[in-house]
Amino acid sequence: MATTPTETPAHEGLRLRARLRYLYHGGQPAAVKFRLAVIVIDLAIIGFFLAAPILKEAGWAFYVLDYVIAAVLALDLAARAYAYSDIRDWLKRPIVWIDLFVLATLLFPAWLANLGFLRLLRFWSLLNSDLFWRTIGRRFDDTRVEEITRALAALITFVFVTTGFVYAYFRGKADHIHGYLDALYFTVATLTTTGFGDITLPGNWGRVISIVVMLVGITLFIRLAQTLIRPHKVRFPCPTCGLQKHDPDAVHCKACGQVLCIPDEGH
């Protein structure tokens, strides 16, 4: 359709922003399908990150695919930023900076090769994003399932980020660490504090890294266990004091005594 004289570039920009907001934040079937496609692409990108240590042997083909993924991620971030009402507020979100760093490792793979293992933070940012829970996890948004998933995502992300770090910096330097599987074996053995001792990191820094992995691993395991064992709570902000979590059958807020009308499923 031809652009009418009243349709200035500013108007076109507003129409584009409205369209992007509809796609990224709307609840209509078309918007949900679009976000599902975005999530599928994200999962494919994460798969590429996991296979990167092996795919690097493909030479120039690896870098071509790397830059294609960088272009896709850059377009996605630009679209999300434009769809957001306040870009400055958008930039204050930690998940955004993680995605920007991942993009930097894709744009400069030769210079940031040793930091490539941090690309797997994309998995954590995906499972902690509103886009994921408004699309795939709508039924479980703000529920115990979401809390368990987030805790499990943090643990899995830590395992693979640590594996990538050990592989990038200790391959060929530590005894028996010759491949990605060796690094994964060391990470899991250290993380679970079972450490069989057949694979260790050399030097004082190696001991420090092993200690950090064990401490963080224990913390993440405890957090996951607490999430699994903790009594079920529902999210419902108290209109008086703002307390978010209450017992499913709560009638009054435990903090201030305000009468609550927590919606249920009609049972």
Name the pLDDT band for 75 (thresholds 50, 70, 90): very high
CATH 1.10.10.350 fits 142-230, yes or no: no
Residue 219 has pLDDT above 80, yes or no: yes
- The stretches of the chain forming alpha helices (DSSP H) are 9-25, 29-55, 60-83, 87-91, 94-107, 121-127, 130-135, 144-170, 180-191, 203-229
The neighbour count for residue 75, using CB atoms within 10 Å, is 10
Q: What percent of the chain has pLDDT over 90?
A: 2
**Segment of 66-80, 86-100, 159-173 carrying the highest mean pLDDT:** 66-80
Cα–Cα dist 113/136, whole Å: 33
Residues 28-65 have pLDDT tens digits of 888 888 888 988 888 888 888 888 777 777 777 888 88
Is the predicted pLDDT of residue 189 greater than 80, yes or no? yes
Average pLDDT over residues 59-85: 86
CA 267/CA 259 separation, integer angstroms: 20
Cβ-count burial 224-257 (b if 16+ within 10 Å, e if not): beeeeeeeeebebebeeeeeebbeeeeeebeeee
pLDDT at 2: 47
Kindly report, residue by residue over 131-169, the tens digit of the pLDDT. 888 787 667 766 777 888 888 989 998 998 898 888 888
How far apart are alpha carbons 76 and 16 in whole angstroms? 14
pLDDT for the residue 113? 66
Check residue 221 and give its pLDDT. 86
Class of domain 7-139: mainly alpha
Any idea where the domains of the chain sit in the sequence?
7-139, 142-230, 234-267
Identify the bridge partners of residue 124 per DSSP, sorted by sequence position.
none
| Closest to 148 (Cα-Cα) out of 72, 216, 229, 90 | 229
Average pLDDT score over the chain:
80
The answer to whether 238 and 209 have CB atoms below 8 angstroms apart is: no
DSSP reduced 3-state for 235? strand
Report the range of poorest mean pLDDT among 71-80, 139-148, 222-231.
139-148
Please tell me whether the overall predicted TM-score, pTM, comes out greater than 0.85 for this model: no
Quick one: tokens of 103?
Answer: 């993009």
> Rounded to whole angstroms, how far apart are CA atoms 124 and 40?
15
Residues in the chain: 267
d(C-alpha 127, C-alpha 259), whole Å? 34
Cβ neighbours of residue 67 closer than 8 Å, sequence gap 6 or more: 106, 107
pLDDT of residue 137: 67
**Is-contact 23 35, C-beta < 8 A?**
yes
Instruction: Provide the pLDDT for residue 12.
Output: 59
